[in-house]
Amino acid sequence: MKKKLLHLSMASVALLMGGCSDFLDLSMKSDYSPENYFTSEEAAVMAVTGVYNSLYGARWWIFGDVASDDAVKGGNPGDQADIIAIDNFSAASDNGAISEFWTKTYTTIAQANNVIEYLAPMDIQLRERLIGEAKFIRAFSYFNLVNIFGKVPYKAMPQVTADAIHVGLSEVDYIYGKIEDDLRAAVSALPPSYTATDKGRVTKGAAHAMLAKVLLYQEKYAECLYEIGQLDSLKLYRLVSSYADLFHSGAEDSAEVIFGLRFVNTTEVALGNAFSVWMAPSIDGGYYFNAPTQAFVDCFNEKTVDMEDDPRLDASIGREGKPWFDGKTFDASWSETGFLVRKYSEENPLKLPIAQSTVPYHYLRYADVLLMKAEAVSELGGASAVAEAATALNRVRSRARLSSTTAATPSDMQRAIRTERRRELGFEFHRFFDLMRWGETGVLGSDFTWQGKRSFYFPIPQMEVDANKALSE
């Protein structure tokens, strides 16, 4: 499949090699080309599957966690120095980790654009669904780009003409508008659920939840609540009883999971969850990156109603003296901070390579939706805002066996919600973006300078500036 999908981008390659006329005259040596690839239902489904596949391997944790106050780079001190520059906000335009993320994300967008543009007439319901899936993934990709880089080139057409390739920077608000358009189209086209063979594809609920997040980031609180209401009307999602049960193989089918990545492979190393490799200790064959900070541990400053530690802490990270996996006890010497991420590791009695891990990654869970609801209600204000926000917030706290929130004022409620997001969603790659949209100051150290909400962005890669004439001229 990957070999066939590769030919979809050959036209773009040809344009970039303008002086190679002999190359341009060669016919493709495969069964598929951009002209005929999307004419059958089987090939169309395969193409959209390829768009999903392009999401795998993206290192969102570098921006969501390491750039935040929840983690440092970790790993060997001299390894992956480009991540250190992201961690201390000194990254330049030639930063390798930034360039890698940019390239991977725009590759995903290019594949989605091909599907949206070239999909031939077929069963209308299937066609609309496949385009809806591609639009969701394109929206998700631009959401990541706009929150990491700010103004970026908004490319919505296949990369087969100079005008489609050389695109200037679009304003942040414009890109957000396009993201909303794609997600609303996805809401209309996607089904609430799938049969077993198609599980893992994006659903109507995922589109509602993603749109709610996009609207929340823009402080469109009433619209955010509307989308959450539409999600709830599907009656498909709920909190599961145990937080820890969300982070093991098979949890991708949990009623709490709305959108994420699933890893079903058990034999091919290259198809497993790479987060396991990046974050596990060396004793398990991992690289021990994304090391949690003491500040993250300290945010769990409430005991449960049973006077025990918040169960989310030890479900999220490993710490000294606590059970690890396969009968091991965690040793603080495994990490420079004394802590490691636990969410992407699990019992491994067969001693399989951890690169074959099938622990899923959850980008959107129903707990996140409840916290978004609490935040939107609280920020809208009104006589009952605090009480209504507390209702949603307490559902998340109750699962962690915490007592009901004592927040009684709007400012107290705002702080309570922000703290709960940090605890509940730790190491699911949201923290840095939350800090940016809130304009939280004083938590990222003296290396970080900012002027207000969402005023800091990482530099656009120099390779894009050099290649994109609309940026370099």
Structure tokens at 254: 């949990």
The mean pLDDT value for 397-410 works out to 97
pLDDT surpassing 80 at residue 121: no
Measured CA to CA, the distance from residue 95 to residue 145 in angstroms comes to 16
Residues 420-456 have pLDDT tens digits of: 999 999 999 999 999 999 988 678 876 676 666 766 8
Q: If residue 15 lies in a helix (H) or strand (E), which one and from where to where? A: helix 10-16
Q: Contact at 8 Å (CB) between 114 and 36?
A: no
Confidence of residue 7 (pLDDT cuts 50, 70, 90): very low
Confidence of residue 266 (pLDDT cuts 50, 70, 90): low
Measured CA to CA, the distance from residue 357 to residue 258 in angstroms comes to 21
Measured CA to CA, the distance from residue 295 to residue 308 in angstroms comes to 19
What angle, 0 to 180 degrees and rounded to 10, lies between the N-to-C axes of helices 204-217 and 221-233? 160
Confidence of residue 25 (pLDDT cuts 50, 70, 90): very low
Q: Contact at 8 Å (CB) between 192 and 174?
A: no
Residues 343-365 have pLDDT tens digits of: 999 999 989 889 899 999 999 99
pLDDT of residue 29: 44
pLDDT of residue 15: 27
pLDDT surpassing 50 at residue 24: no
Q: Contact at 8 Å (CB) between 93 and 459?
A: yes
The mean pLDDT value for 88-115 works out to 96
Architecture of domain 1-167: Alpha Horseshoe (1.25)
pLDDT of residue 117: 94
- Domain regions of the chain by residue span: 1-167, 269-359
